[in-house]
Amino acid sequence: MKALIKGYEDRFGRAVIYIMFLLFSLLAAAVLFGLLHSSGIIKFATDAYIKEAEFGGAAALFALTFYFMIYSYNNAEPEQASISGNIYNEQGYALEAVKIRINGALGSTSSDENGFYLLKLDASQDSWSLVAEHLDYAPLHQDLTKTDIRKPISLSLKKN
């Protein structure tokens, strides 16, 4: 679920995700209140009181749903960490435009003209599989652990 939310967030932005959750929570509140009222769990004395209570009850239910939705979404975000380093060729020259990604994760980065890269990753995992790719060089796969990401990681790519 976290990956799905993160994928939509990357595509549409956080504001759109909040609006989507707001609409879904409003719909859920209305459906829940309607079910409780129609099943007789919630009973009212008069029609005038029903209209007043429906609005007040729905508003309260919506507010609670919205609060817990925002609270759980903010607490559900993965811890962020980052890895950085430089990428070189066999002769020790910095490589530009090398695509760096974590296998199975969303997002990637590219090395700059000095071969430097910085990639954010999900720190709640214990290990990652780093992949470095460039058209003129063979792909490099390197397994990383939490201790590996504490320091810069230099990579060396070999020609195809």
**How many Å apart are CA 118 and CA 98, to the nearest integer?**
12
Position 19 confidence tier, pLDDT thresholds 50, 70, 90 = confident
| Cβ atoms of residues 111 and 100 within 8 Å | yes
Domains plus CATH for the chain? Answer: 2-76 (no CATH), 80-156 (2.60.40.1120)
- pLDDT value at residue 80: 79
DSSP state of 89: -
pTM for this entry: 0.53
**How many Å apart are CA 117 and CA 158, to the nearest integer?**
18
| Cβ atoms of residues 50 and 43 within 8 Å | no
- pLDDT value at residue 9: 56
**Which residues make Cβ contacts (< 8 Å) with residue 70, sequence separation at least 6?**
18, 21
The predicted-structure confidence for 26-41, as pLDDT tens digits, reads as follows: 667 666 666 555 655 5
| Cβ atoms of residues 82 and 57 within 8 Å | no
| Residue 135 in tokens | 């058209």
| pLDDT at residue 133 is higher than 70 | yes
Cβ of 48: how many Cβ atoms within 10 Å? 9
- pLDDT value at residue 16: 66
Round the average pLDDT of the chain to a whole number and report it.
Answer: 76
| pLDDT at residue 50 is higher than 80 | no
Position 124 confidence tier, pLDDT thresholds 50, 70, 90 = confident
- pLDDT value at residue 48: 47
Position 47 confidence tier, pLDDT thresholds 50, 70, 90 = very low
